[in-house]
Chains A and B, each alone.
Chain A
């Protein structure tokens, strides 16, 4: 039974979840099945977050547990191809801003939801975003920033993407710190995500295949 693993993960019981995963492996359970249970658990955690039952600490804890179980299992999974069923997302903190906690949570949730994510890191110039869009060809670009100086950096980045002729290829979402709906208009982005799950929702919506 993998249900007890799902339950331990959802209830934030770290020791129990790790113990259970180890046990399942020892019993010869298919590693991919265990990862599937993890995905199921992450889905429930995400739902609880959206309902306002869980908050950032729970997402962090879920991420930690997932990381440890993946480390346990990944060496056993040889042929597993990374199927980016959710599409590709490029994400980074804009020029002048060195904060990355919010961005990292969004990345964790996107990956947990099957997206292929490329993380540009912090303090990234507009040209870096443009270059990465050319190479990686994402459908979605996420820009993060905590400080008011990020407003102009985001605006400049959107403009640079426009000037490079790439604007029509990507949908752009912004988030973090003092960013609001009003800043979306100011920067010319397509949407503002008020929290990490909102970012995932946007990415899902934008990469939906007809």
Chain B
């Protein structure tokens, strides 16, 4: 089945329409009143029209990436947000209510600190655990997978994650190293050895910490769901509803690390490519599952290691793009709209990434020339972006407005555009965020053009 995820399925259009309808309906959202419900539908329609490229929306939807900004806006620390779910909810509500962006940015990345504490996650430092309570969490760059382990990952990704990777990244899950291999457990003599590891005291403790982490994660989800309902109920559809990553980034971000994966392109090119291929189905299923639960159409996909400068054009074509494209096609064939967030610059990649089906994805850019993007990938995909963070953090409202005006003139022509920011807007000046949203809503109206 090597050719899976290459061709677009004849069912893709129908499935996409079905999923848009589910999103538009917003079943289960506790709408505050009829106006809120109408506002919700209007906003989903703006986004749908922008994405499908069939007709121009009535105006450009304005969907900044909230990032960690709502905490700063509400005056709470990241520690508060990660440990006090009420404080988290309140901050997110105030942000959306005051600034009225066109979509709700769920706090998916503000994960519950206690879950990390219980599992003793090594991948990050978070407030009160490595960084001070006022700071944001940060990734700890290491080689969590060794170069010699590619074949193990390729042979059986699940076993590799259970037996090798989890014991490394979760202090509390070290005993999972003894988790039995599953395919052999299909005959009577294999039953006792398969059961044995679970009788060991340390394995019991590992499962207990998993249960505790699970309970805490459920408490967090209940609080977030309630808050999401309140915000969406006021007329703000969620901007995304799931999360996945490009296979190359799975390996480059948190398995081999930046340096590791860069060297692997020279030292282990075949293993790296095969491992990326091997991860595709899991990364598709992960987004499909999450969107099924959220009733949403757009999985968020942050892209990291394929940016301009991070590899040559040839390396991008060889290592990064083939499996990212398969991920995209796999999701599109399920009726989903991949929301590809290209961090950094993608100016050298615009031609290559235009090889995608029409009206099926969102390409969200950061430091990419939006005019060039519009002329290339903008012909086949909705664009989003790219108000820069240096401007939002240190500029003035007038400078922000001038940027937005030019951006809309360049990228907004004829629809197919969502005005957003180049990254999560933490550190921005409040008046700049306000100016961006208010100005762009007005200037981005297609009605007077």
Chain A residues in contact with chain B, CB under 8 A? Answer: 12, 14, 53-58, 60-61, 64, 96-101, 147-149, 151-152, 178-180, 182-183, 185-186, 195
Contacts and interface: CB of A to CB of B under 8 A. Distances in A.
Nearest to B130: A98
Nearest to B319: A57
Contacts of A98: 125, 131, 138, 140
B315 A57 contact: yes
Interface string B421-444: 001001110000000000000000
B394 interface: yes
User: What 9 A-B pairs have minimum CB-CB distances, sorted nearest first?
Assistant: A148-B427, A57-B262, A186-B394, A180-B390, A182-B390, A60-B262, A98-B138, A178-B389, A55-B312
B263 interface: yes
Contacts of A100: 141
B253 to A, nearest CB: 12
Which of the listed residues B259, B265, B423, B426 has the most CB atoms from chain A within 10 Å of its own CB?
B259
A97 B389 contact: no
Given A54-B312, A99-B138, A149-B135, A61 B394 contact: no
A55 B309 CA distance: 5
Interface string B373-398: 00000000000000011110111000
B427 A57 contact: no
Interface string B312-328: 10010000000000000
A182 B394 contact: yes
B393 A151 contact: yes
Contacts of A61: 262-263, 266
Contact of B265 (A57, A96, A99): A57
A189 to B, nearest CB: 13
A199 B431 CA distance: 34
Contacts of A56: 262, 309-311
Contacts of B388: 180
A198 to B, nearest CB: 11
Nearest to A101: B258
A179 B426 CA distance: 14
Given A12-B266, A60-B262, A149-B427, 8 more contacts: A54-B312, A55-B310, A56-B310, A57-B263, A151-B393, A178-B423, A183-B394, A185-B394
Interface string B259-277: 1001101110000000000
10 contacts: A12-B266, A55-B311, A56-B262, A57-B262, A57-B265, A101-B259, A148-B426, A152-B427, A179-B390, A182-B395
